[in-house]
């Protein structure tokens, strides 16, 4: 949500002053930084409050405090995954006779071990989270706006007066062991309860209570990326740490920033078979290199751009060359500049001369008259090494200027700007500016399992 957050003020007496459940699905973009994704507070009297956050050490932390005492728990677990979605819950019930049962946290259906716990609330004492008159913030602190959450949130449930279990909101897949979302849980929400961010960026309460939120700051952007279909983004954990780039908008925008680092990013998901498509819009008159790599980790370690070495291929902004091992292997492609949209299609199923196939388009026109939809065609194909795991990559081929770009892995947005008119084949697990070649799909978990 970056610098975006939503809010509403509780307008009723709580159904129970002693119980509530918070359940949401959350995908992180930024790690190692303290960030509140829930805060409940009276902005004019900040003494008592509730919050749910990631600490700077990436542990999950829940806190609810008032004159009755505090409920405070920190997990041992480090939640550092920037690819998948976490299901996180906090269940408060001070009617419990055992102090340790008065607040419990859950991650993907399981209660973690705790690094620290404090239970100074006595039995049957009131709590803050569902208190009348308190303002409920999602995506930021509210009182300290710099503690905003960077990432995505989906299916946010708040149940006032009820202590639910993880099995009410999800279940374990009997085949894969994966914790899966229940998109329509049978729960009761109580007076101050709500259900928002159900199927996109709607802040309208789906619980039936009409406890609607408003966008308090920023732009709330819809994403196809969701708990049941995870889309690739750029991976902030695989970077040149000496010259790290700056990421934004859910790790889809990238900026080489300091003009000295060449490697920028690789996709969070890799590809060993199948046919995949993505789009990248150039944002600066720089030296973008856009392409693929089968050793993205080595690209990050050496700090070089796609196309510098034998394991990667990159389409160069300034002159249109497609480089591999620092030699042009693509023939005569068009150069591109700020505002141009480059399509990248990779075919890892069909071989040509023992090689897999890579294609590039500029503003919807496939370069060298290529036709990725014709899987037997050899026109305009860039041959790439077979039997490897590939990642989409981008980089900066010059130390002299900052390269910037914004990626659409299928969410239908470049940053916070929606595609102007979605191309065909959008049902292939993604929404793109231009037509997706026949047989290709977005790089997502559903796309990987077609």
Domains and CATH numbers, the chain: 5-217 (2.60.120.200), 246-448 (2.60.120.920)
Contact indicator for 61, 115 with CB cutoff of 8 Å:
no
Rounded Cα gap, residues 76 and 164, in angstroms? 23
pLDDT at 263: 77
Of 419, 415, 282, 411, nearest in space to 3 by CA: 415
Backbone angles phi, psi at 72, to 5 degrees: -140, 120
The pLDDT, as a whole number, for residue 142 is 76
The three state secondary structure string of 365-428 is EEHHHCCCCCCCCCCCCEEEECCCCEEEEEEECCCCCCCEEEEECCECEECCEECCCCCCCCCC
With H, G, I as helix, E, B as strand and everything else as coil, classify residue 297.
helix
Beta-carbon contacts of 252 under 8 Å, excluding residues fewer than 6 positions away, are 233, 234, 406, 407, 408, 409, 411, 413, 414, 415
CA dihedral sign, ordered 222, 223, 224, 230: negative
- Pick from 404, 330, 399, 395: which is nearest to 368 by CA? 330
As a whole number of angstroms, the distance between CA 154 and CA 156 comes to: 6
For 56, list phi and psi in degrees, rounded to 5: -65, -20
Q: Give the length of the chain.
A: 450
| pLDDT confidence of residue 58 | 97
Report pLDDT for 126: 95
pLDDT of res. 241: 79
Rg (CA), the chain: 24
Q: Are residues 27 and 35 in contact, defined by beta-carbon separation less than 8 angstroms?
A: no
- Alpha-carbon span 450 to 443, nearest angstrom: 11
- SS3 state at 357: strand
* Residue stretches of the chain with pLDDT short of 50: none
Collect all residues with Cβ–Cβ distance below 8 Å to 428 and sequence separation of at least 6. Answer: 436, 440, 441, 442, 447
Distance CA 198, CA 154 (A): 6
Query: What's the predicted TM-score (pTM) here?
Result: 0.92
- At residue 392, the 3 state secondary structure works out as strand
Write down the pLDDT at residue 428: 66
What letter would DSSP give residue 16?
-
């Amino acid at each position: 949500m970056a610098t975006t957050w939503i809010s509403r003020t509780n307008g009723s007496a709580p159904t129970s002053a002693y119980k509530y459940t918070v359940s949401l699905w959350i995908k992180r973009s930024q790690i190692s930084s303290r960030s509140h994704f829930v805060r409940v507070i009276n902005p004019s009297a900040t003494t008592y409050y509730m919050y749910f956050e990631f600490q700077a050490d990436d542990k999950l932390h829940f806190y609810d405090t008032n004159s009755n005492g505090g409920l405070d728990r920190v997990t041992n677990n480090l939640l550092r995954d920037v690819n998948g979605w976490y299901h996180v819950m906090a269940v408060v019930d001070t009617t419990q006779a055992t102090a340790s049962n008065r607040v419990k946290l859950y991650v993907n259906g399981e209660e973690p071990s705790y690094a620290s716990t404090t239970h100074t609330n006595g039995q049957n004492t009131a709590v803050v989270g569902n208190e009348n008159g308190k303002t409920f913030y999602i995506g930021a602190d509210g009182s300290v706006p710099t503690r905003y959450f960077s990432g995505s949130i989906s299916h946010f449930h708040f149940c006032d007066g009820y202590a639910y279990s993880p099995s009410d909101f999800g279940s374990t897949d009997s085949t894969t062991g994966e914790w899966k979302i229940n998109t329509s849980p049978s729960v009761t929400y109580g007076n101050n309860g709500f259900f928002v961010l159900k199927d996109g960026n709607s802040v309208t309460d789906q619980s039936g209570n009409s406890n609607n939120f408003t966008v308090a700051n920023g732009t709330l952007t819809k994403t196809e990326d969701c708990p049941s279909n995870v889309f690739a983004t750029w991976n902030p954990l695989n970077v040149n740490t000496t010259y790290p780039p700056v990421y934004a908008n859910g790790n889809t925008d990238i900026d080489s920033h300091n003009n000295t680092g060449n490697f920028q990013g690789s996709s969070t998901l890799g590809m060993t078979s199948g046919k995949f498509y993505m789009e990248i819009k150039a944002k600066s008159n720089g030296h973008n290199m856009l392409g693929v790599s089968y050793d993205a980790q080595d690209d990050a370690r050496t700090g070089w751009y796609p196309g510098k070495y034998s394991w990667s291929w990159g389409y160069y902004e300034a002159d249109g060359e497609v480089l591999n091992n620092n030699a042009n292997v693509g023939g005569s492609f068009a150069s591109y500049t700020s505002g141009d949209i480059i399509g990248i299609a990779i075919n890892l199923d069909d071989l040509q001369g023992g090689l897999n196939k890579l294609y590039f388009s500029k503003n919807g026109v496939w370069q060298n008259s290529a036709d990725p939809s014709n899987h037997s065609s050899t026109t305009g194909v860039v041959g790439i090494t077979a039997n490897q795991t590939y990642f989409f990559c981008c980089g900066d081929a010059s130390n002299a200027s900052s390269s910037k770009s914004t990626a659409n892995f299928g969410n239908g947005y470049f940053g916070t700007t929606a595609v102007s008119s979605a191309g065909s084949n959008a049902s292939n697990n993604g929404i793109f500016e231009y037509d997706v070649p026949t047989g290709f799909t977005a790089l997502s978990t559903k796309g990987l399992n077609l």
